[in-house]
Structures are given as C-alpha cells and as structure tokens.
Amino acid sequence: DGGITQSPKYLFRKEGQNVTLSCEQNLNHDAMYWYRQDPGQGLRLIYYSQIVNDFQKGDIAEGYSVSREKKESFPLTVTSAQKNPTAFYLCASRAPRGSQFFGPGTRLTVL
C-alpha cells in the first residue's frame, strides 16, 4: 500500500542530545514537509523540500536540521539547540494538485 511512514511512534531524549526522526514515503511525491504540533494547537511548518538535495526553512526552523538525499526519505534532526523540543512531529508529502498526505506522527518527549 502507498503511504507515509514515520518512526518511531514515541521517542524519549535526554536534554542536550540530538535525535533524528525518520520519514519515508512510497507515493512518488517530489515535495515533503515537516510540521510541529503542540497540545491544542495547529500545525507549524519546520522545513520543506521540493526536490531531492534541496530544502527550505519553514516558520520555526531554529534548532532543527534536515536532509533530502533520496526522494523517498526526509529525516528531521532535533538538535540540542531546540529550546522546547517536546512535541508531536508530523511528516507530509504533496500530491500533484497540492493536497498533502500525512504520516502517523512521532511524539518526542525530552526528559
């Protein structure tokens, strides 16, 4: 089945550690996105990539980094510079007419 997978579902990190969240899609979509969601709030764009080897900062990129070496994969690294990393992280890819399809999300908790 085509879709977007994110792993792990739950992630715990100690303060000061970097952590990488995985996002894979087999929908053959060019563009991919990372969003952050805090409790009771909407989605905020962290980074996006329109094509392999290219990516742009979104609205809240500080403390995060990404890479796009393969079309299918768009991993997000939450660095120790991110002041409040505890959140729900969502990855999405874009269909040709503009709709975005989301993965199941990764809940990151900093201990």
The reply to whether 71 sits near another protein by the rule CB under 8 A is no
Residues that bind another protein (rule: CB under 8 A) add up to a total of 27
Q: Which is nearer to another protein, 84 or 99 (CB)?
A: 99
**For residues 92 and 77, what is the distance between their CA atoms, to the nearest angstrom?**
16
Q: Exposure pattern of 47-74 as b/e (b: 16+ CB <10 Å)? A: bbbeeeeebeebeebeebbbebeebbeb
Q: Which is nearer to another protein, 16 or 98 (CB)?
A: 98
Q: Which is nearer to another protein, 43 or 61 (CB)?
A: 43
Which residues in this chain contact another protein in the complex, by CB under 8 A?
4, 6, 31, 33, 41-43, 45, 48-50, 56, 58, 88, 90, 92, 94, 97-105, 107
